[in-house]
């Protein structure tokens, strides 16, 4: 097996931007007004990845627990902020507090278990492992919480009359909301389950592909990918479950009435 990595030069990478030109041509031809979004997305992707690449090079070459902790905290903070921004003022203050707690608790508990129990990272703050795995688990947990909360809010709106009827008949808020929580949890974890179903047959996941391209033995890459996907599933499930388990209560007042 050849383990050498084919390094991409700037001119070679520039050839990849031909795809952008082709897509711009298609958009123009079909009169689809997405040119600005495509150009902005391409620019931001390039700029952000270059900056992150330079930053990671420095951090990995000079590992320090406080720096690793700071980067992880920033990633988690941005994930929570992104969830808030997606709902554009639709979240109550109480539900924001729930998300601000449930997302970090669920994602970081899965992250720590995966890093220390599954991989056994040494030293514990090794940024080469901690930072990229944090990104994958926290990013997917953010998506899961967003889907779960979005579904829950819609279900409470669509089933308002049925919920009020159940409450008038003596049902506790937890009982009346059970089917909403279950549906919301199912909607949140379904994308992750679909990814797991298609891995290895329909597509090769990004982490595994990257490791193979960098010269890692495929069997090692597969082991890491399986472990990471289990960690992602755990992060998504725990974060979403906590956000729904605590979040449904914010839709009721102290008298167990719908707000």
pLDDT band at 4 (very low <50, low <70, confident <90, very high): low
How large is the angle between the packed helices 35-61 and 65-87, nearest 10 degrees? Answer: 160
- List pLDDT tens digits, range 173-228: 889 899 999 999 999 999 999 999 988 887 777 778 778 777 788 888 889 889 99
pLDDT at site 1: 47
DSSP track, 190-249: HHHHHHHHHBTTTB--HHHHHHHHTT--HHHHHHHHHHHHHHHHHHHHHHHHHHHHHHGG
Q: Is the pLDDT of residue 2 over 60?
A: no
pLDDT at site 3: 57
- List pLDDT tens digits, range 103-154: 999 999 999 999 999 999 988 999 999 999 999 999 999 999 999 999 999 9
For the chain, the average pLDDT equals 91
pLDDT at site 76: 96
> Among the residues of 88-126, which ranges form H helices?
93-112
pTM given for the model? 0.86
pLDDT at site 202: 78
């Amino acid at each position: 097996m050849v383990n050498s990595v084919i390094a991409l030069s700037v001119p070679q990478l520039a050839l990849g931007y031909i795809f952008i030109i082709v897509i711009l041509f298609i958009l123009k031809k079909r009169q689809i007004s997405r040119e600005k979004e495509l150009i902005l997305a391409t620019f931001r992707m390039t700029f952000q990845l270059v900056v992150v690449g330079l930053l990671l090079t420095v951090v990995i070459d000079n590992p320090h627990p406080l720096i690793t902790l700071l980067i992880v905290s920033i990633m988690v903070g941005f994930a929570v902020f992104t969830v808030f921004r997606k709902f554009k003022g639709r979240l109550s203050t109480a539900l924001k507090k729930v998300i601000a707690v449930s997302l970090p608790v669920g994602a970081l508990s899965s992250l720590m278990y995966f890093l220390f129990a599954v991989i056994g990272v040494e030293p514990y703050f090794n940024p080469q492992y901690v930072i990229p795995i944090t990104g994958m688990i926290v990013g997917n947990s953010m998506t899961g919480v967003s889907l779960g909360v979005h579904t829950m809010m819609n279900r409470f709106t669509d089933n308002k009359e049925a919920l009020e009827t159940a409450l008038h008949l003596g049902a506790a808020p937890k009982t009346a909301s059970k089917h909403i929580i279950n549906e919301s949890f199912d909607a949140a974890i379904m994308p992750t389950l679909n990814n797991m179903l298609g891995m290895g047959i329909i597509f090769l996941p990004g982490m595994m592909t990257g490791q193979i391209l960098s010269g890692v033995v495929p069997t090692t890459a597969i082991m890491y990918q399986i472990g990471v996907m289990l960690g992602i599933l755990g992060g998504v499930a725990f974060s979403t479950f906590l956000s729904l388990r605590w979040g449904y209560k914010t839709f009721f007042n102290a008298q167990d009435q719908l707000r």
